[in-house]
């Protein structure tokens, strides 16, 4: 009797729960963020979201950064693409050509969003083909990391603030002893290093230059040539670490951490690796040396929704959750980054370490720039840039010739 | 006369012996050099796994760490994610090995012992499948595995690797079975053995070195494969060791000690397996190669 009642009760419970289960939407989030030193954070984030939204389940799909772009393209081609996509701004145009991304304008215009669009970091929001395609989870502004020990040994009291000072100090540091270099320039073409976008573009933006005119390549302009000339002069003077053409971003970071490079231009997020792995290093970070301009290159972790997702509303509910100031602040802290939603800045500031506070202070009045997102075939474009700059550093061509060659090849790529 | 010849012969013998020793010394030196080139990356991998990252890039480079640093191993051995990568690799490797041995041996038995319509064409087809670069098959395989509902499952990987391993297994086992005289089969048949009995009771025990070398090759193929493992799985609990290692190459840096510690742990089963059976592997390869 008891058994029969128990069975009936179980059946009734199962029947009552079935409609709920049937309504639950499962969405997939493909990203590389969970593989980036944020042990367990994203699993907790997903669990928190699911607790607050019992009608949606999220499957976290993590790929290594170097494979995410290929995965998104391949998954889309086969029809097994994820609903929410972790994105890198330079991939934008290529993904639009394949039709992978859903325009977000209508979602951003909703009244019940947990954030104000005007509070989001601007760079990823810029319209391409008349629409906004992604929103920023985090922002990683480019800064210059400084080994103050080497700066002092070379006879200077303060880090360089202008190009002239950078060239002078980098040259003096290189002259200190064998194996020590003024500045690292990772111009390897090996992905995911992406050479010039790590060092050349931040210097160009600090000089007031740009490489695109809207969505048209504009590489052969005087600012670009001046920046290339600056790199060439530093290289000829021996201020740049040897082997730039094969140096990856990873090697550049390791060399800096080991104390063998005076300066390194890279995202501010590297400060946590530097301070945790070599606490002995006399370290600080500063704005990329400028010629009066205050623009900086910004990189970030962006989020978009797949055009063929069958659960776009559920996907947006999740994106909306990630951009709420409280959650966005947690995500920024976990990655030692600035938040994509600037309304979360105060929350990030609380308990932030000194290097993050310094980034906020340095960059508070500057303009974030990211142009590669407008570039057609960005990956091929930065390969072209890498090859021509490598040829220039080898002495095979002048800065003017390098700029002209990149421009011509970019126009070919754009078709 | 003999008094004159003897010292000349002795001198010639001494010279010959000296030349032989020089030749041997040169061969040993060359072998030592090749061994060093082959072994050095493994030694460096072990060295880096035991160093803090700051020491990894110290100049001049040091093979022996200043202090042994076990954090990478501690992290890898205590994280359930890494245990899952190892278990998946074992499951896939062992399943592919077992299936390719069973199917490959049966197919090889057919090719070796029977003549049937189209057998030469079939054999040629098996060999030519080996000549297609696997990268070109990625997208078609992806589509087939999704169509079969095996995407993001270990069965999908097992099926895929089986198609890579089977041609090799068939060719290897066919070559090895061809070296065994057919008189064995006839004697066993007269004694009442069925064809399957002949294979299991008579041929397989003799073909053991061939079976072991085929098994080792198949296991290595499944254990080390990266590209398809990355493309055909997406859940963390379906990943294998090579994909797990690649997850440590981040956008903003590498966890050198953890990556190398996991690489050491991931290489150990293969190294131990190969050391245990290398005698058979060499024997099996050469026998199959001569008679194939």
Please indicate, yes or no, whether residues B25 and B122 belong to a single structural domain of this protein: no
Q: From the list A61, A66, A80, which residue is nearest B249 (CB)?
A: A66
Delimiting residues of CATH 3.40.190.10 domain(s) in chain A = 2-140+299-359, 141-298+371-414
Amino acid A228: pLDDT: 96
> Which run of H or of E encompasses B265?
helix B256-291
Strands A25-31 and A84-87: parallel
Average pLDDT over residues A101-125: 94
pLDDT value at A11 more than 50? no
Highest mean pLDDT of the ranges A98-112, A122-136, A329-343, B266-280 = A98-112
What's the complex ipTM? 0.74
Position B84 scores a pLDDT of 94
**A240 CA to chain B: closest CA distance, Å?**
18
Lowest model confidence (mean pLDDT) among A23-27, A251-255, A405-409, B178-182: A23-27
Q: Name the residue range of residue B23's domain.
A: 2-56
The shortest C-alpha distance from A4 to chain B (Å) reads 38
Determine which of A104-108, A162-166, B205-209 has the lowest per-residue pLDDT on average.
B205-209
What mean pLDDT is predicted for residues A32-50?
Answer: 88
Q: Is B246 on the interface with A (CB under 8 A)?
A: yes
The pLDDT confidence band at residue A194, using thresholds 50, 70 and 90, is: low
| Total number of domains in chain B | 2
Contacts of B51 in chain A (CB under 8 A): none
pLDDT value at A38 more than 80: no
SS3 A283: strand
Q: Which of A29, A34, A65 to mutate to test the interface with B (most CBs of B within 10 A)?
A: A65
Nearest to A268 by CA among A144, A138, A137, A368: A144
| CA–CA dist B116, B278 (Å, integer) | 36
Closest CA to A375 of A95, A168, A147: A95
Give the pLDDT score at A20: 46
Residue B141 confidence (pLDDT) above 80:
yes
Residues 178-217 on A with a CB inside 8 Å of B are 179, 192
Least confident of A45-49, A359-363, B18-22, B185-189: A359-363
Q: What pairs with residue A181 in β-bridges?
A: A261
% pLDDT > 90, chain A: 57
Q: What is the mean pLDDT of residues A217-225?
A: 93
Q: Could you tell me if B207 and B125 lie in one domain?
A: yes
Cβ-nearest to B251 among A36, A79, A258: A36
Of A37, A62, A66, the CB nearest to B236: A62
Backbone angles phi, psi at A25, to 5 degrees: -95, 135
To the nearest whole angstrom, how far is the Cα of A245 from the nearest Cα of chain B? 19
Q: Which carries the bigger pLDDT value, residue B6 or residue B130?
A: B130
Please indicate, yes or no, whether residues B91 and B39 belong to a single structural domain of this protein. Answer: no
pLDDT confidence bin for B283, thresholds 50/70/90: low
Q: Looking at the domain assignment, is residue B63 inside a domain?
A: no
- Just give the CATH number of A141-298+371-414: 3.40.190.10
| Beta carbon pairs, A and B, within 8 Å | 77
Q: Does B84 touch chain A (CB under 8 A)?
A: no
Please provide the average confidence, as pLDDT, over all residues in chain B.
88
Residues facing A213 on adjacent strands: A216
Does any CB of chain A come closer than 8 Å to the CB of residue B280?
Answer: no
Burial-class residue A3 by CB neighbours within 10 Å (0-12, 13-18, 19+).
exposed
CB atoms within 10 A of CB A311: 18
B53: CB partners within 8 A, 6+ apart:
A254, A257, A277, B256, B257
Instruction: Estimate to the nearest angstrom the gap between the alpha carbon of A365 and the chain centroid.
Output: 20
Confidence check: pLDDT of A371 > 90: no
Query: Ranked by mean pLDDT, which of A70-74, B32-36, B177-181, B252-256 comes out on top?
Result: B32-36
Q: Residue A255 and residue A264: Cα distance in Å, rounded?
A: 9
Q: Residue A74: which of B142, B249, B253 has the nearest Cβ?
A: B142
B292 band by pLDDT with thresholds 50, 70 and 90: very low
Q: Is residue B175 a contact partner of residue B287, using CB atoms and an 8 Å limit?
A: yes
Which of residues 274 through 303 in chain A touch B, CB cutoff 8 A? 277-278
Q: At CA A132, angle to CA A57 and CA A107, rounded to 5?
A: 45
Write down the H helix ranges in A284-376. 312-323, 325-335, 345-349, 354-363
What is residue B171's predicted lDDT score, i.e. its pLDDT?
92
Separation between Cα atoms, residue A301 and residue A42, nearest integer Å: 14
Q: pLDDT tens digits for A148-182?
A: 999 999 999 999 999 999 999 999 999 998 889 99
Alpha helices in A99-147 (DSSP H): 105-108
CB contact set of A399 (below 8 Å; sequence gap of 6+): A225, A228, A229, A231, A232, A392
Structure tokens at A215: 């969505």
- φ, ψ at A240 (rounded to 5°): -95, 140
Question: Which of the following CATH numbers is that of domain A2-140+299-359: 3.40.190.10, 3.40.50.300, 3.40.390.10, 3.30.470.10?
Answer: 3.40.190.10
User: What tokens does A359 get?
Assistant: 């980034």
- pLDDT at res. B287: 58
Whether the predicted pLDDT of B227 surpasses 60: yes
Over residues A230-248, the mean pLDDT reads: 93
- Which tokens is A289 given? 């040396």
- What is the average pLDDT across A80-104? 92
Interchain proximity B247–A62, CB inside 8 Å: yes
Q: Pairing relation of β-strands A261-267 and A216-217? A: unpaired
Cβ–Cβ contact B80 with A under 8 A: no
Give the tokens for residue A378: 């960005």
* B254 vs A: CB within 8 A: yes
Closest partner residue to A270 (CB to CB) among B236, B246, B252 is B252
pLDDT at A126: 85
Strands A84-87 and A295-305: antiparallel
On the question of pLDDT at A279 being above 80, the answer is yes
Query: pLDDT value at position A372?
Result: 78
Q: What is the mean pLDDT of residues A289-316?
A: 90
Tell whether the model's pLDDT for residue A193 goes beyond 80.
Answer: no
Stretch (H or E) spanning A30 = strand A25-31
Q: Give yes or no: residues B140 and B223 share one domain.
A: yes
For residues A184 and A241, the answer to whether their CB atoms sit within 8 Å is yes
Taking every pair of Cα atoms in chain B, the longest distance, rounded to a whole number of angstroms, is: 91
Does B53 sit within 8 Å of A277, measured CB to CB?
yes
Largest CA distance in chain A: 93
Note the pLDDT of residue B2: 52
B66 assigned to some structural domain = no
Where is B9: in which H helix or E strand? helix B2-49
Residues B23 and B85 in one domain: no
pLDDT at A37: 65
A318: its two tokens: 């999740």
Helix (H, G, I), strand (E, B) or coil at B111: helix
- Is residue A7's pLDDT more than 70? no
Q: Is the pLDDT of residue A358 over 60?
A: yes
Lowest-pLDDT range of A240-249, B185-194, B269-278: B269-278
Q: What integer best gives the mean pLDDT of chain A?
A: 88
**What tokens appear for B32 in the block?**
């030592």
Contact at CB, A59 and B249, closer than 8 angstroms: no
Per-residue pLDDT for A6 more than 50?
A: no
Q: Which of B143, B235, B253 sits opposite A78 (nearest CB)?
A: B143
Are B63 and B44 contacting, i.e. CB atoms less than 8 angstroms apart? Answer: yes
Greater confidence, A13 or B201?
A: B201
Q: Is residue B61 part of a domain?
A: no
- B244 in a structural domain: yes
Q: What is the mean pLDDT of residues B69-90?
A: 91
Q: Which residue does chain A place closest to B141, by CA atoms?
A: A78
State whether residue B58 sits within 8 Å of chain A by CB.
yes
Higher pLDDT pick, B33 / A91: B33
CA A182 remoteness from chain centre? 25
Please compute the mean of the pLDDT values over residues B96-118 and round it to a whole number: 95
Task: Place B135 in a pLDDT band, splitting at 50, 70 and 90.
Answer: confident
Predicted TM-score (pTM) of the model is 0.79
């Amino acid at each position: 009797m008891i058994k029969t009642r128990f069975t009936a009760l179980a059946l009734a419970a199962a029947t009552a729960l079935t409609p709920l289960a049937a309504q639950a939407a499962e969405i997939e989030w493909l990203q590389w963020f969970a593989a980036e030193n944020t042990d367990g954070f994203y699993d907790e984030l997903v669990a928190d979201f699911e607790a607050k939204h019992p009608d949606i389940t999220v499957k976290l799909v993590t790929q290594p950064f170097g494979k995410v772009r290929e995965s998104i393209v391949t998954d889309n081609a086969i029809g097994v693409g994820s609903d929410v996509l972790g994105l890198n701004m330079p991939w934008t145009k290529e993904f639009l050509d394949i039709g992978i991304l859903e325009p977000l304008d209508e979602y951003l215009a909703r009244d019940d969003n947990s954030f104000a669009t005007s509070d989001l970091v601007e760079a990823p929001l810029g319209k391409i083909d008349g629409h906004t395609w992604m929103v920023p989870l985090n922002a990683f502004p480019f800064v210059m990391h400084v080994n103050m020990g080497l700066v002092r040994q070379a006879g200077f009291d303060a880090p360089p603030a202008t190009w002239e000072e950078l060239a002078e100090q980098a040259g003096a540091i290189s002259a200190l002893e064998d194996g020590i270099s003024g500045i690292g320039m990772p111009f390897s073409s090996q992905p995911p290093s992406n050479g010039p976008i790590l060092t050349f573009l931040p210097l160009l933006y600090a000089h007031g230059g740009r490489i695109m005119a809207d969505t048209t390549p504009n590489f052969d302009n005087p600012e670009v040539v001046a920046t290339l000339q600056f790199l060439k002069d530093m290289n000829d003077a021996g201020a740049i670490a040897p082997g730039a053409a094969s140096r990856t971003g990873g090697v550049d970071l390791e060399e800096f951490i080991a104390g063998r490079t005076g300066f390194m231009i890279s995202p501010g997020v590297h400060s946590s690796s530097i301070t945790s792995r070599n606490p002995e290093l006399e370290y600080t970070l500063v704005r990329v040396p400028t010629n009066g301009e205050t623009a900086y290159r910004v990189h970030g972790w962006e989020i978009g929704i797949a055009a063929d997702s069958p659960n776009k509303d559920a996907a947006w509910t999740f994106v909306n959750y990630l951009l709420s100031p409280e959650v966005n602040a947690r995500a920024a802290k976990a990655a030692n980054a600035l938040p994509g939603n600037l309304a979360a800045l105060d929350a990030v500031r609380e308990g932030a370490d000194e290097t993050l506070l310094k980034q906020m202070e340095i960059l508070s009045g500057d303009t974030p720039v990211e142009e590669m997102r407008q570039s057609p075939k960005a990956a091929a474009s930065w390969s072209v840039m890498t090859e021509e700059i490598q040829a220039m550093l080898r002495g095979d061509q002048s800065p003017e010739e390098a700029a002209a060659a990149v421009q011509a090849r970019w126009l070919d790529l754009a078709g | 006369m003999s008094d004159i010849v003897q010292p000349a012969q002795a001198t010639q013998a001494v010279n010959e012996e000296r030349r032989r020793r020089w030749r041997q010394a040169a061969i040993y030196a060359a072998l030592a050099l090749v061994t060093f080139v082959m072994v050095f990356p493994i030694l460096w991998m072990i060295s880096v796994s035991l160093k803090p990252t700051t020491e990894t890039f110290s100049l001049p480079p040091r093979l022996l760490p200043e202090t042994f640093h076990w954090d990478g191993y501690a992290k890898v051995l205590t994280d359930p994610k890494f245990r899952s990568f190892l278990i998946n690799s074992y499951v896939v490797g062992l399943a592919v090995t077992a299936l390719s041995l069973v199917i490959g041996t049966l197919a090889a038995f057919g090719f070796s012992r029977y003549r049937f319509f189209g057998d030469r064409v079939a054999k040629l087809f098996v060999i030519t499948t080996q000549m297609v670069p696997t990268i070109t098959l990625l997208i078609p395989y992806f589509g087939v595995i999704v169509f079969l509902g095996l995407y993001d499952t270990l069965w999908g990987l097992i099926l895929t690797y089986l198609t890579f391993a089977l041609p090799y297994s068939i060719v290897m086992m066919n070559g090895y079975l061809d070296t065994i005289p057919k008189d064995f089969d006839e004697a066993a048949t007269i004694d009442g053995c069925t064809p399957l009995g002949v294979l299991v009771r008579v041929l397989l025990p003799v073909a053991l070195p061939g079976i072991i070398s085929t098994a080792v090759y198949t296991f290595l193929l499944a254990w080390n494969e990266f590209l398809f493992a990355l493309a055909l799985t997406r859940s963390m609990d379906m990943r294998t060791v090579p994909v797990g290692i690649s997850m440590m190459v981040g956008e903003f840096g590498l966890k050198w000690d953890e990556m190398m510690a996991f690489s050491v742990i991931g290489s150990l089963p293969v190294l131990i397996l190969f050391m245990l059976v290398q005698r058979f592997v060499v024997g099996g390869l050469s026998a199959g190669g001569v008679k194939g």
